[in-house]
Amino acid sequence: MMDMDIPSPLPAAPVRFLDRLRGFIRMRGLAYKTEKTYLFWIKRFIRFHDRKHPETMGASEVEAFLSHLVLQANASVGTQRVALNALVFLYREFLGAPLENLNYEAARKPRKLPTVFSPEEAKAAIGNMKDEFRLIAMLIYGSGLRINEVLRLRVKDVDFGMQQLVVRSGKGNKDRVTLLPDSLIRPLTQQIESALLQHASDLAKGYGSVYLPTALSRKYPNASREPDWQYVFPATDFSVDPRSGIQRRHHMLDRTVQKNFRKAIRSAGIRKPANSHTFRHSFATRLLESGYDIRTIQKLLGHADIRTTEIYTHVVRKGGFGVRSPVDDGF
């Protein structure tokens, strides 16, 4: 399948080290995005040490690699932390050899403040979008979703009665609930109706089976053809599932949406380094400006750590924590 959020197939009895590691990660139930991230850093660690096998290495090699990321690769705090998490998982969980008392050069690079749209900029950018792209942008800006959380929405995840959206397996492989704005009920209803009409047409042609994670497909063998499990934003064309070989209609591609967003943002005359995530940053900032409790915002965004949410206090529209500048009082 063309999309990159479906796990690639593994041999029935993996022999290669990285295949065994992938299988172990999937047995633990970690998100596929986490799997790809861990494998990226573990392979980079192995290449850094001239392709030595991880079983022949230990704490000293991990320390050297983590220090290299800071001293030579100029890695940020977040980047070094992700690499550390991957290697800790490798040694503690997979190899059963915990890394004790690591001593390495810690990154001290300050976190960048998020780029945020003003209300006028957000409206201008969204105003340059049409059809599904416009609705996707409004869901990110209006509900605080990540772009892939929107694209992976299934019909059953939209609860019009409770006026909420259920995000399944979001960042950290956790589920959460966020709001469904009043103004999006009608367009989202129309989008779902359109998606289900497409699904009915696919069924009539002998298709209509949607991708489900392995565990779900075993538990609910007929669910892949049911309306509730269909994507709210289906792809225009079919693609082939690399694991099963089945031709299916997946959800819209991230890169397709991002390309449309970049064009709309440029057309609005916005010169900030903005993308789809800027709408999410702007959602959090608007809520802070409106006086909502930061822990409520944390839950809506799905942040595990309140400190991640607190960064938005630095970019509210009245900068400097809402302090009025003395120059604004006149002379």
Query: Using one digit for the tens of pLDDT, what is the confidence trace for 263-279?
Result: 999 999 999 999 999 99
pLDDT of residue 128: 95
What is the rounded CA–CA span in Å between residue 188 and residue 139?
Answer: 9
- DSSP assigned state of 234: B
222 vs 192, which has greater pLDDT?
Answer: 192
Q: Is the pLDDT of residue 194 over 80?
A: yes
Backbone phi, psi, residue 38, to 5°: -60, -45
Least confident of 21-30, 96-105, 108-117: 108-117
Least confident of 38-47, 150-159, 190-199, 231-240: 231-240
DSSP string, 86-105: HHHIIIIIISS-PPPS----
Residues 6+ apart with CB under 8 A from 297: 144, 284, 287, 288, 309, 312
Assign domain 112-321 to its CATH architecture. Answer: Orthogonal Bundle (1.10)
Distances (CA, A) of 330 to 271, 290, 324: 30, 27, 12
Fold: same for 17-94 and 112-321: no
What is the rounded CA–CA span in Å between residue 35 and residue 90?
Answer: 11
Averaged pLDDT for residues 158-172? 87
159 vs 108, which has greater pLDDT?
Answer: 159
pLDDT digits (tens, 9 = 90+) for 140-153: 999 999 999 999 99
| pTM (two decimals) | 0.74
Q: Indicate the domain borders of the chain.
A: 17-94, 112-321
**Under DSSP, is residue 139 helix (H, G, I), strand (E, B) or coil?**
helix
**Under DSSP, is residue 231 helix (H, G, I), strand (E, B) or coil?**
strand
pLDDT digits (tens, 9 = 90+) for 112-125: 788 899 999 999 99
Q: Which residues are catalytic?
A: 146, 171, 277, 280, 303, 312
Assign domain 17-94 to its CATH architecture. Answer: Orthogonal Bundle (1.10)
pLDDT of residue 112: 76
